[in-house]
Structure 1
């Protein structure tokens, strides 16, 4: 969590109008850094959900015993998206989908950056492409996007599955944040074509061009989206191969059937060590 506040602070320091939020994040960054270090020193063992998180905790407390076990999903519960069999047309244009809690700062930053800097580049080549922002509690900073005819802000929905099912491309334009992006794992489990920033898949050991496409600059991000849309309008071989690879990757690495045995083994080891330590006490 301290890394999230650190990234927020460093981002805001580049914008004079956001000096007060930057100051707040700096204070929280230092408080959380001290708190997390204190907890790590007291714990018999620490679980991190990714190697970057493990490294961050080890920087705080080099002696901490930090084990990486990724967060997971019920991969078998997800089916390939219906959109994978559809070809976009002017009458039924492709839809780019982003999902998330829309009062969460990294998500707000992501969709504003995408709408302002990436979507216009996509529209130069394919003006009918739509952008759906799916998630509860849309922040007032997003209100201006409602005026755009190709952008839809849904607010809270009962089920995101229908939106994912009809997504032409799932976009992850995150520039700040931390932890595991469950949204990415869920989209991969459905075999959706995905374009993400490098930070958007931080801690998920994917390969650019195999399970998804990575891009960090607006031009590259737009080009990656268009590459997927062009593939779907042609023969769809690239998106099919990428979707199959993504689904296989999640099933092999992030399914609960793979993760739960590791968790159980870790807890059993800790209990044995604690029991032995207790018995050896005078």
Structure 2
């Protein structure tokens, strides 16, 4: 098939969950013989060693539009559209997209996530014969509801809670419109699929989890110099669920672990640490790495991988990466949501402060148990979340659409 994929940013380097997902999809579709045009926002030219050009027939990039706070406030007051739907609206992108659609015909057009769903109506109108797929990374309206419930419990977070409350309703309306307009919707977990199916009478919401290429995480030749009792968390560190997870963990759980194991260290690995995390830099037991070329070396060196998420949805790619690296994992129920039961059995699930601290302490004191969990995690992620397993599921969805 000749395919157009529209996305918020180039998926290489794969430094976020969405980028990891799309990079895997591109590799899988290319290997299956499909012809791909990729259109994305990018402020820098593609470098010579970037692996994306060999995967695509053409790549079209447009600079990301400015989105000052004044524009966000104006839209909050004078429109009913959600902020996330306005964030990447660009007249230049519209012009380039219209030109592309006028000169080339596509069999299938895929919209990658809600950030670029504002272009879905244009695509649908311009090429009515093409099948349009809306690939959702999560049910965004549910995420905003959970964020609201958590932020409202803390006085200084009330403005953020009000923002999430306002956005949740707007996002639900927008997601409903986009899901109904697309020919099919992709969800990454059963929970997200259930939340999105209420928008479609025909139930055309298909579960295609995010995955990884497990073999990419088997290189252990280099590891950072980290002490024996090291906890690791990875993720894009300006993402609200990740910020909340680390602030909650450091305030409520980490001190209990330090009382039992004073030498424990916490490594927060990920780009763009939010200003709310600045306070953590004064703690000598905590390291915020910022951008790293690869998270795998930190996963290889981790004694225990932690995922104390209290909000969010979708497939936790951070957990898949940790499992592929053979990590012992302690995660909340929310962090592990959407995963198959066999995968959840390969980690320790803990939600309460005392239970989480106790689980981590037990593992830090028991390397044999860590090895057992890590081995089970690797087996499970290879069986259920390697792209070699998932790409055929995606191709089956495309095939059914083409057959009509």
- Could you tell me the TM-score, scaled by structure 2's length? 0.62
Match of 1:261 in 2: 392
Which structure carries more relative contact order (alpha carbon 8 Å, separation 6+)?
1
Please say if 1:153 is aligned against 2:288.
yes
C-alpha distance in structure 2 between counterparts of 1:19 and 1:77, whole Å: 42
Match of 2:141 in 1: 2
Q: Is the CA contact 2:208–2:390 (under 8 Å) kept in the aligned structure 1?
A: yes
Please say if 1:219 is aligned against 2:354.
yes
C-alpha distance in structure 2 between counterparts of 1:255 and 1:156, whole Å: 25
Q: CA deviation at 1:271?
A: 0.1
Match of 1:13 in 2: 152
Q: Is the CA contact 2:148–2:161 (under 8 Å) kept in the aligned structure 1?
A: yes
Q: CA deviation at 1:41?
A: 1.7
**How far does the alpha carbon of each residue in 1:106-133 deviate from its partner, in whole angstroms, 9 at most, with x for none?**
1111011111111111111111000011
Q: CA deviation at 1:62?
A: 4.8
SS of 1:52's equivalent?
helix
Match of 1:278 in 2: none
- Could you tell me the TM-score, scaled by structure 1's length? 0.88
SS of 1:70's equivalent?
coil
SS of 1:103's equivalent?
coil
SS of 1:14's equivalent?
coil
Unaligned runs of 5+ in 1: 84-90, 274-282
Runs of 4+ deviating beyond 6 Å: none
C-alpha distance in structure 2 between counterparts of 1:128 and 1:135, whole Å: 23
Within a 5 Å distance, the mapping from 1:156-235 to structure 2 comes to 156-206=291-341, 210-232=345-367
SS of 1:114's equivalent?
helix
Please say if 1:100 is aligned against 2:235.
yes
User: Whose helix fraction is larger, Structure 1's or Structure 2's?
Assistant: 1
Tell which deviates more after alignment, 66-75 or 154-163: 154-163
Compared CA separation, residues 22 and 51, structure 1 to 2 (3 A): same
Please say if 1:121 is aligned against 2:260.
no
Tell which deviates more after alignment, 157-166 or 57-66: 57-66
Q: Could you tell me which of 375, 384, 388 is aligned with 1:244?
A: 375
Q: Is the CA contact 1:81–1:166 (under 8 Å) kept in the aligned structure 2?
A: no
Unaligned runs of 5+ in 2: 1-139
Backbone CA RMSD of aligned residues? 2.0
Q: CA deviation at 1:168?
A: 0.5
Within a 5 Å distance, the mapping from 1:35-74 to structure 2 comes to 35-74=174-213
